[in-house]
Amino acid sequence: MRVLLVEDDEMIGASLRDALGTQGWSVDWVRDGLLAQSALADGDYACVLLDLGLPKRDGVEVLRRAREGKDATPIVVLTARDGLEDRIGGLDLGADDYLLKPYEFRELLARMRAVIRRRDGSAHSVIGAPGLQLDLTTREVVVEGERSQLSAREFALLHALLERPGAILSREQLENRIYGWGEEVSSNAVDVLIHGMRRKLGPDAIRNVRGLGWRVAPSAAGARAE
C-alpha cells in the first residue's frame, strides 16, 4: 500500500522511509507543505504521515486544506509539538490520529492500521465478505476459512478491491494503489500479480472486466449484502 510521508527532517524522513519499506509499504516522501498538497491531490494513498513544522506551508494548513477539499485520506500527525493547543487543533481540523516524537515505530504501524480500518468503516481488523476476507493485521487472506499469507503488493491490491466489493478498478487505479513514485512498473505488472493471487484465492475470486479493469467476483462481494 502507498503512504505519503511528509517530513522535512532528512534523518527522520530517511529512517522512516526505510523502516516502512521493510514493512512492505510503498513510500512517497515529500519535504515541504506545498509538495504535500499536490501529492495528496494526485495520489491515492492509504495513509498520510504528516509533520506539522514544514517549509513553505505548515502541516496544520495542509491538513485544513485537505479536509476542506473533502479529502478523506487518513492522516496521522507526527510532531514534536507537544502543546495541548496544537494537539486539539490538529484533531479538530480532521487529523485521524496524533503521535508525538519520539515514538515507537511499532506503535506508528499499529496506528496506521487503525486509521485505515476506521476509514474502511470497520472497527475490526478483517474486511471483505464471508467467503473472501482480508486480515489487515496479519496481511493474510482468508478464503472459505483457509488462511494464506499475501505479499505486500498482493495485499495492497486486494485491499483496494475489497474496499468497495464489486466495484471495478482500472489498471491505473490499481497501479496507483500499489506502487510508489519512481518504481518501475511493467505494463503487465497487475496481470502478473493477479495471476499469482488466483492460486491463493481461487481462479474466480478476482474477475477481469474486459477493457475496464478488475473486481472481486460478485459471489464473494455480494455475500455481505445478502
CA dihedral 172, 174, 177, 178 (to 10 degrees): -110
Q: What is the DSSP string of 99-141?
A: EESS--HHHHHHHHHHHHHHHTT-SSSEEEETTEEEETTTTEE
Q: Which stretch binds Ca ion (CB under 5 A): 47-55, 109-117, 118-126, 214-222?
A: 47-55
Closer residue to Ca ion, CB minimum distance, 51 or 140 = 51
Residues 6+ apart with CB under 8 A from 149: 138, 139, 140
Least spacing, CB of residue 159 vs Ca ion, in Å? 30
**Which residue has its beta carbon closest to Ca ion?**
53
Closer residue to Ca ion, CB minimum distance, 44 or 58 = 58
Helix (H, G, I), strand (E, B) or coil at 163: helix
CA dihedral 39, 42, 48, 49 (to 10 degrees): -10
Copy the grid coordinates of residue 193.
500479480
* Binding flag, residue 32, Ca ion (CB under 5 A): no
* Binding flag, residue 51, Ca ion (CB under 5 A): yes
Closer residue to Ca ion, CB minimum distance, 8 or 61 = 8
* Binding flag, residue 8, Ca ion (CB under 5 A): yes
Closer residue to Ca ion, CB minimum distance, 12 or 143 = 12
For residue 144, the cross-strand partners are none
Copy the grid coordinates of residue 88.
486539539
Q: In this structure, is the dihedral angle defined by the CA atoms of residues 45, 48, 53 and 59, taken in order, positive or negative?
A: positive
Least spacing, CB of residue 6 vs Ca ion, in Å? 9
Least spacing, CB of residue 161 vs Ca ion, in Å? 36
Neighbouring C-beta atoms of residue 178, cutoff 10 Å: 24
Q: Which stretch binds Ca ion (CB under 5 A): 43-51, 152-160, 175-183, 209-217?
A: 43-51
* Binding flag, residue 57, Ca ion (CB under 5 A): no
**24, 43, 53, 166: residue in contact with Ca ion (rule CB under 5 A):** 53
Least spacing, CB of residue 130 vs Ca ion, in Å? 45
Q: Which stretch binds Ca ion (CB under 5 A): 7-15, 84-92, 104-112, 202-210?
A: 7-15
* Binding flag, residue 61, Ca ion (CB under 5 A): no
- Per CB under 5 A, residues contacting Ca ion are 8, 51, 53
